[in-house]
Homo-oligomer: A and B are copies of this chain.
Amino acid sequence: MDFSTVELDAPHRQLQEEVSEFVREQFTEDAYAHEYATGDGFNESIHLAMGQRGWIMPAWPTDKGGAGLDRLGERILELELEKARVPWVTLGTTRLIVSAVERYASDAIRDTVLTDVASGHARLCLGYTEPDGGSDIAGAKTKATRDGDEWIISGSKMFTTGAHNSQYVFLITRTDPDLPKHKGLTMFLVPLDTPGIEIQGIHAFSGERTNIVFYDEVRISDDYRLGEVNGGWTVLRGPLDEEHNMGSGEPDGLDDPSAFGMSFLRELHYALDDVSRWATTERVDGTRPVDDPAVVQAIGELTVQFEAAIVTPGPAGRVAGSDTLVAGAAALLDLVGPEALIPRGQPGAIGDGQLDFAHRFAQGTATYGGTVEVFRTIIAQHQLGLPRPNYPGAKVFRTTKS
């Protein structure tokens, strides 16, 4: 149990200054405006600049394209980037897939992909969900058919965030519809410039962009297969478990208890900052909101929820993070009234529009990386040990609706 301030030695202090300087230089007003306008969660110029410094895969040794940072160094890097809100979504999906590539990619492609990932030239995105598939990833219907040394892939994937800025998609396909559901799947790392792939933008009301990706007889070499044929579930489990458990292995207190949860809750933190400032500002009639104990109590209540949610670990923290942000943002809008509806850049916006943004952004957090229902199920079954419901489609793959 340790919540102390981390004392930095000279090299780490230097790193902190270096990253801070990097962010100031790279994350310009233009870069910010671009991100706000596109909702890409990605900035190519910053990404490549990070690659040059070895910061895409910072723990990797420098000869592999990393920066050889220790865990504290990684934490410093992460915090400086997060603090400034440098776009991170595509960086996140890329890192999530790397270990599966290391472990399962063929000799033919592995080193190239990893080198390009580290330099920033290769970005990876997740091809899991299908247009009518929802949370049932193992129910994938996108078909991959063997043709000699090649595979032909047809189907479509929803919510492939970052596809338009990525070079590869980590794609789950069905290679044998006759096997039980989880056994007929194969994973590929599909180059996104392959003919037959079409990427269409989908826009969330938070301003974020994701994509639907269509695969029309996409032909790729067997070199792009990850792991065994029909062994895709094993390959996917690594990244998926990492996304679902979201805990750190190391007991050094340098990871957030729940990475996803904290990334959601940071928005509530900023919103509470802004509402606290609003509360101490005089209104036209000379009163201040803070003079009303009910306002103080409301801010206190949301702070309590925030403080509890940020120490809620793993899958529980992922649910708590989303629930707390969703409820908290709505409550803050109620507290402030109509001015809270004004977005960034419009006259009268509170906290540069943070309240408006947090409220819109919050809704997506109930779905990112698996819905809160998926995580409640994980908690019920794995933490409480409740029995698994016997759904007809849990084991069997069926392409027709009953």
Contact = CB atoms under 8 A, between A and B. Distances in A.
Contacts of A390: 392
A332 to B, nearest CB: 16
Contacts of A241: none
A392 B390 CA distance: 10
A384 B390 CA distance: 25
Interface residue range, chain A: under 10
A292 interface: yes
A126 to B, nearest CB: 31
A193 to B, nearest CB: 44
A391 to B, nearest CB: 10
7 contacts: A292-B293, A293-B293, A293-B294, A294-B294, A294-B296, A294-B297, A390-B392
A222 B69 CA distance: 86
Interface in A274-319: 292-294, 296-297
A222 to B, nearest CB: 42
A117 B217 CA distance: 78
Nearest to A390: B392
Contacts of A294: 293-294, 296-297
A71 to B, nearest CB: 43
Interface string A45-82: 00000000000000000000000000000000000000
A292 B297 CA distance: 11
A292 B291 CA distance: 11
A381 to B, nearest CB: 18
A300 to B, nearest CB: 10
A292 B294 CA distance: 8
Interface in A350-374: none
The 7 closest A-B CB pairs, nearest first, are A294-B294, A294-B297, A293-B294, A292-B293, A293-B293, A294-B296, A390-B392
Nearest to A292: B293
A23 to B, nearest CB: 41
A294 B294 CA distance: 4
A294 B292 CA distance: 8
Interface string A377-402: 00000000000001010000000000
A260 B297 CA distance: 34
A292 B295 CA distance: 11
A263 to B, nearest CB: 31
A105 to B, nearest CB: 43
Pick the most buried of A292, A293, A392: most chain B CB atoms within 10 A of its CB.
A293
Contacts of A392: 390
A294 B295 CA distance: 8
Nearest to A297: B294
Contacts of A297: 294
Interface in A69-127: none
A297 B294 CA distance: 7
A270 to B, nearest CB: 25
Contacts of A293: 292-294
Nearest to A294: B294
A330 to B, nearest CB: 15
